[in-house]
A and B are shown apart, each in its own frame.
Chain A
Amino acid sequence: MNTLSFIRARHLLIAAALAFIALFLVLPLVSVFVAALQKGLAAYGAALIDPDALSAIRLTLLVAAIAVPLNIVFGVLAAWSIAKFDFPGKSLLVTFIDLPFSVSPVVAGLIYVLMFGAQGWFGPWLQEHDVQIIFAVPGIVLATIFVTFPFVARELIPLMSEQGRDDEEAALSLGASGFQTFLRVTLPNIRWGLLYGVLLCNARAMGEFGAVSVVSGHLRGITNTMPLHVEILYNEYNFVAAFAVASLLALLALVTLVLKSIVEWRFGYHHGSAKH
């Protein structure tokens, strides 16, 4: 084996990997924008300002605006209790927090139907009190919280565990209150990890399809999120409109990837660890 054949092998491997990525990742991404713009900008714009599309965009933003902050609060609380203290059953608790990642999105929707649907555990009681969760916005929010449940917590737990508790103990011994310590010491330490988790959490919250599809009821203009609106348009063979709304979601994905990369490159954040 001489040097030349090693260089040749390297070029071959790089070419094969790039070809695979071009075929499986780049091509689908490009096809979304090409299909959305194939009838021109006017058709593209018309699809986006359609009242049903606008109400889908509004609902998607609303659901993310509820689900993401709740998961931030939960993620920080869970990471604080798991990373800063020792107690038995810690790894079991972490496994439970990760559980939603191993559940099919469709099953994630189904469990809320079994809880709050007409035939569910609380169905009769909810009907008596005229509260609708399934086939309404609360069900969509619940299903979204479930599928995005682990994102922030699983980013913060390893990060805060590695950082230990010396900084906090120092601040407390100098007379800071618990909340001051969190705000002035812990939060600055974990900010890039938190941002990283929030970015992924938000992308999933806005893009969730399967779980939301089960609990939504697909009422146009009322319980349709953007991904569900894409499905309806596609099934009606309105491809330009379907890909136009899809292109907004693809842009969201691209923005997420760019911000995520900035956190990694500029601030040296390494996913899943505390290396700075």
Chain B
Amino acid sequence: MENALSSPLQMSAAPVRHARRSKRNRSVIPGFGLTMGLTLAWLSLIVLIPLSTVFIRSAGMGWADFLAAGFSPRAVAAYTVSFGTAFAAALVNAVFGLLTAWVIVRYDFPGKRVVNALIDLPFALPTAVAGIALTAIYAGNGWVGQFFEPLGIQLAYTPVGITLALIFIGLPFIVRSVEPVLEDMSAEVEEAALSLGANPWQIFSRVILPAILPSLLTGFALAFARGVGEYGSVIFIAGNMPFKSEIAPLLIITQLEQYDYAGATAIATVMLVASFAVLLLINLIQAWSRRRMNG
């Protein structure tokens, strides 16, 4: 049985492989050696070798020293602030980013093009500019902060302020991830569900959400990863109190200024491993989504 199945497969596989090889030989486009060589050289010089310094330095520290520096109470508190605020901001953006993408894709309203262009503002606006602007708005005497001050709620210089800055930074990641999927989804599916008697909530949770879930998760992961490493837009509004509102990237800078290279390197290693984990997660989500689409 096994032989009967495998032999036709082998027979069909051979010509395919042969065809592919001969096509590659036929390719007349020049410059592969040159462009690939320069790409690999430049990539190694600018990205790979410099990034390897962090891991090589950490490996040279020894396990005990690495743990002491990378997971000191102050470092763990900083991770908690960075990861916690990035997660909260990504959650808020998942809701409002999805809403924004939906409104842009499905509805027409005056000024839609301007709104669509503005979504990318956080990509284009330098983070330091965003940082001082957000601080001015959310400080106790600011345009928004003044309404919360009398209630005894402080926005700037607390983790709430950090979260507000990360909402600003992360919004386009969600909108731009979800938008193309919503564009490809025809309104007919929703109309069919409606004609079958589904209510709006059922249409959203049973029809729309399952279709956009992979792209929503990808956008969430991208916004989260960006938020964890974000520095410029956060430090002005953060307050930067150790154990309370100190983010991990700031702690790296503090260690560097005290010439504690080992401490800075250990924290950088933890952050790099975390971002690589998120990167892997995004790839898994996309592989899952492709399998689901094909299956």
Contact = CB atoms under 8 A, between A and B. Distances in A.
A16 B95 CA distance: 11
B231 A74 contact: no
Contact of A203 (B53, B119, B123, B128): B123
B107 A14 contact: yes
A227 B232 contact: yes
A26 interface: yes
Decide if the interface of chain B is mainly helix, strand, loop or mixed: helix
Nearest to B42: A74
Interface size class of B (residues with CB under 8 A): 35 or more
B265 A114 contact: yes
A192 interface: no
Contacts of B54: 107, 110-111, 114
Interface stretch (A44-52, A75-83, A124-132): A75-83
A246 B129 contact: yes
A257 B118 contact: yes
B31 interface: yes
Identify which of B51, B132, B225, B261 gathers the most chain A CB atoms within 10 Å of its CB.
B132
B107 A102 contact: no
Nearest to A258: B117
B256 to A, nearest CB: 7
Contacts of B231: 104-106, 209-210, 213
A149 B46 contact: yes
B113 interface: yes
Interface in A81-97: 81-82, 84-87, 93, 95-97
B121 A104 contact: no
B136 interface: yes
Interface stretch (B7-15, B208-216, B268-276): B268-276
Contacts of B171: 24-25
Contacts of A155: none
Contact of B47 (A24, A96, A230, A231): A96
B252 A106 contact: yes
B87 interface: no
Nearest to A271: B176
Contact of B132 (A81, A119, A203, A242): A242
Contacts of A252: 124, 126
A246 B133 contact: yes
Given A28-B133, A31-B133, A243-B132, A20 B99 contact: yes
A156 interface: no
B245 interface: no
Identify which of A102, A168, A182 gathers the most chain B CB atoms within 10 Å of its CB.
A102
Contacts of A86: 24
Contacts of A82: 39
A84 B107 CA distance: 39
B249 interface: yes
A20 B167 CA distance: 11
A85 B34 CA distance: 12
Contact of B125 (A29, A100, A210, A234): A29
A110 B252 contact: yes
Interface of B: 24, 27-32, 35-36, 38-39, 42-43, 46-51, 53-54, 57, 96, 99-100, 102-104, 107, 109, 113, 115-130, 132-134, 136-137, 143-144, 167-168, 171, 176, 194, 199-200, 225, 228-232, 236, 248-250, 252-253, 256, 259, 261, 264-265, 268, 271-272, 275-276, 278-279, 283
Given A16-B99, A78-B39, A169-B27, 6 more contacts: A1-B194, A28-B130, A106-B253, A110-B265, A149-B46, A169-B28
19 contacts: A1-B199, A25-B119, A26-B118, A77-B35, A96-B43, A102-B225, A107-B252, A107-B268, A110-B252, A120-B53, A178-B31, A200-B124, A209-B127, A210-B231, A227-B128, A246-B129, A250-B129, A253-B126, A257-B121
